[in-house]
Structure 1
């Protein structure tokens, strides 16, 4: 089981990402303090470190430099959206990749698997999701439907991945939002409904004319399992 050391002071996000990573087969250790995280990195038990840039007491860039002096463990940086300076600094100081926050848990897992695969880790194998005629490649973030490439936006892929991992089950909209976008759904937020509508059009209808994605008003959505 690959071990992820997650260093981030955002406790709500850390809890969400930890739960998702564990469901994906990772062992997770967390730290809200960069200095404590560095101590955890020193024992070299982690297969990859996910490190937030913006933290109190010691920022992620300083922590990155110290961890790099300890060894060559792969490091994925979490940066503020649109902050090119942090991204460039992180890469220059030895980060393997970065993800802009807010990020979806699915995207984070895909980046982690890709980094491990490039590093030659035995844990980098891609976990392909196969539900009937639907095939999702989370690491490459590509999809196939009925034997043909399925063109999806990033948000659409995130949502369809959540539904595919729970095929045949009702997934509450709040759960979809947290897993697909890494944040809670706010009142009157219709973004999930809009993305679902687009995915439905791309999948087409079943033989009886119904959608492959069922909706239960006020509750959530369900990907039909009998594909």
Structure 2
């Protein structure tokens, strides 16, 4: 039974969402403050964290940032903010999904299921994949560059492994959103650009002149193996 950490300062929301998640087979642990959420996230090792942005002590963005310093656990943010800039910021600091209030509890459960499914979808590749100076360990979702461990968010890891599965394929932004994030950001393609930018900062020697993730102007992105280009296998 997967453990879900549910963080919100409104008792009624905690009760309703806990009930729906438990009926769907999840074990739910709740927190009503940011400090309590950080403590539980560290001790429980949950499968997913549902995190409200408006908390009485630390806000949800700060909680998310602190969790991301030590964990790649999937995070679903809950917020009343609907502006694109707010959602982009949440994704930039490491959230995997963003649900704007008011929302249906059934939709939230579906989002959690989708997040967990995506988190487990990348085990079919061989355990270790070497591309250029990148070494990807599929079994425990680690990535090294020149023997240095990279700190990737779950979305960045899924984006990288999606590219690795299909080297040389040109992806539209819409296709990457559907493949990596698993749902449609209507008119919100900037989301995937943010993840690509962050991933380039971590895997490229010079993000402004990338050798792995190439921009296909007016369309999307393509992943290339620099060694393959030199005829090396």
TM-score (norm 2): 0.50
Distance in 2 of aligned mates of 1:112 and 1:89: 20
- Gap change, CA 1:75 and 1:21, over 3 Å in 2: same
Is residue 2:125 matched to residue 1:87?
Answer: no
d(CA) in 2 for partners of 1:10, 1:121: 33
User: How much has 1:84 moved relative to structure 2?
Assistant: 2.9
1:70 is displaced (CA, Å) by 1.9
Runs of 4+ in 1 over 6 A off after TM superposition: none
Counterpart in the other structure of 1:50: 50
1:1-227 superposed matches below 5 A: 1-120=1-120
CA distance in 2, matches of 1:53, 1:83: 14
Aligned alpha-carbon RMSD (Å): 1.9
Shift in alpha-carbon separation, 1:72–1:78, aligned structure 2, 3 A:
same
Q: Deviations over 1:136-182 (max 9, x none)?
A: xxx98xxxxxxxxxxxxxxxxxxxxxxxxxxxxxxxxxxxxxxxxxx
3-state SS of paired residue (1:70): coil
Structure-1 separation of matches of 2:43 and 2:102 = 29
Q: Distance in 2 between matches of 1:91 and 1:4?
A: 20
For the 8 Å contact 1:44–1:73, the answer to whether it is kept is no
**CA offsets 1:14-56 (integer angstroms, 9 cap, x no match):** 1000011101100000000111110111125200000001111
- The answer to whether the 8 Å contact 1:53/1:86 transfers is no
1:47-103 CA distances to partner (integer Å, 9 max, x unpaired)? Answer: 000000111111000000001112100000001152333311110001001101111
> Structure 1: which 5+ runs fail to align?
123-138, 141-227
CA contact (8 A) 1:17 1:105 kept: yes
